[in-house]
Structure 1
């Protein structure tokens, strides 16, 4: 694990920002920096799952990462494609108001050339189905940070099924409580363990 990943894992905000600024000055690409930050976030997630970190640490790590993303945004815009690679809907499910992870995914998707429709937080189930119909997006990202909200992901997918558009869109889930078991339970197509994985899945969907 690199120095930046370790600093993020240990929630050392000042060190993280210093290392990111040094990386940018030295010509390190935004995606390289994000990749190392992802390793740090994975380590934070592991500490959370082992009950060594709690929700406050998880949220704080996300805030540090949001600060990193703000510094990288101009670099991501420079590398973004001029022609859209496809439409992606992203939203945090009903009952959950966390948006840090969602916003990081959106920044990366836009930097990778996707047209992203940000649906916000605490999104009513029917809104997802309505927006899929309206936009014709082939990819839908559902986010949750609180473990009691992930069953809402299943409700969204059942609503897509009931409205006859389930086969028109591929659903990616992500967030702290999510894993392959949750994906299977919800009936989603993919689980993204981090933001870069979400981008790669959208690329796969639009191949």
Structure 2
């Protein structure tokens, strides 16, 4: 049992006042970078708990959005205590909703959680053609490309995007994660992605594992 289990639980249950009280008390102890990083990781564990509760149907989209805001608020409190701020930087992600799809709620939730987790996120928007993904990847050289889509037709657009990255010689340099209701294990394999998720918190956890 971790000494920070109560913080994980508070984040997972979206108890904002309790989370802030715990963090304020922690900051007052003048913690080391290692201790701050441990608490940041604890907050991320709470976000995975949020994702699990959402999967069970006990949380709704509004709860996910709030959880992203809560995590961002927590990181804002913890960041000034880090002597080496680079220790919180996780990597770069380019995300966008693929061509033919105008949905962005899931993408935005993932973005807020990824930013709070320390990633530099470049959001190219909705209904984005293959060229938009390729050009952004060339520009910022990310570690990860995230593609979002809610409509079934988005699957073909995702495949086209991965094929476009291959043709541009960029595919081997990035991990590709896909999100959205129509994406399955079989679709992920067909499209040529590295992973898929319908759970934003779990998706961020995967991205964290890729960048070490």
Asked whether the two chains share a fold, i.e. TM above 0.5, the reply is yes
Q: Does residue 94 of structure 2 align to residue 89 of structure 1?
A: yes
SS at match of 1:147: coil
Counterparts of residues 125-164 of structure 1 (less than 5 Å): 125-164=130-169
Q: Name which of structure 1's ranges 23-32 and 133-142 shifts more when overlaid on structure 2.
A: 23-32
What is residue 31 of structure 2 aligned with on the other side?
none
Runs of 4+ in 1 over 3 A off after TM superposition: 18-33, 76-81
Residues 69 and 109 of structure 1: CA distance in aligned 2, closer, same or farther (over 3 Å): closer
In the alignment, the residues of structure 2 paired with residue 112 and residue 25 of structure 1 have an alpha-carbon distance, to the nearest angstrom, of 17
Residues 111 and 64 of structure 1: CA distance in aligned 2, closer, same or farther (over 3 Å): closer
CA contact (8 A) 1:77 1:110 kept: no
Task: Give the gaps of 5 or more residues in structure 2.
Answer: 1-12, 24-41
CA contact (8 A) 2:178 2:188 kept: yes
Deviation at 1:64, TM superposition (A): 4.1
Deviation at 1:203, TM superposition (A): 2.2
Equivalent residues, number: 176
* Deviation readout 1:1-25 (Å, 9 max, x if unpaired): xxxxxxxxxxxxxxxxx96446536
Deviation at 1:199, TM superposition (A): 1.9
Select the structure of larger CA radius of gyration.
2
CA contact (8 A) 1:94 1:124 kept: yes
Q: Name which of structure 1's ranges 82-91 and 136-145 shifts more when overlaid on structure 2.
A: 82-91
What is residue 104 of structure 1 aligned with on the other side?
109
What is residue 124 of structure 2 aligned with on the other side?
119
Correspondence for 2:190 among 180, 185, 201: 185
In the alignment, the residues of structure 2 paired with residue 77 and residue 177 of structure 1 have an alpha-carbon distance, to the nearest angstrom, of 35
Q: Does residue 203 of structure 2 align to residue 198 of structure 1?
A: yes
SS at match of 2:56: helix
RMSD: 2.7
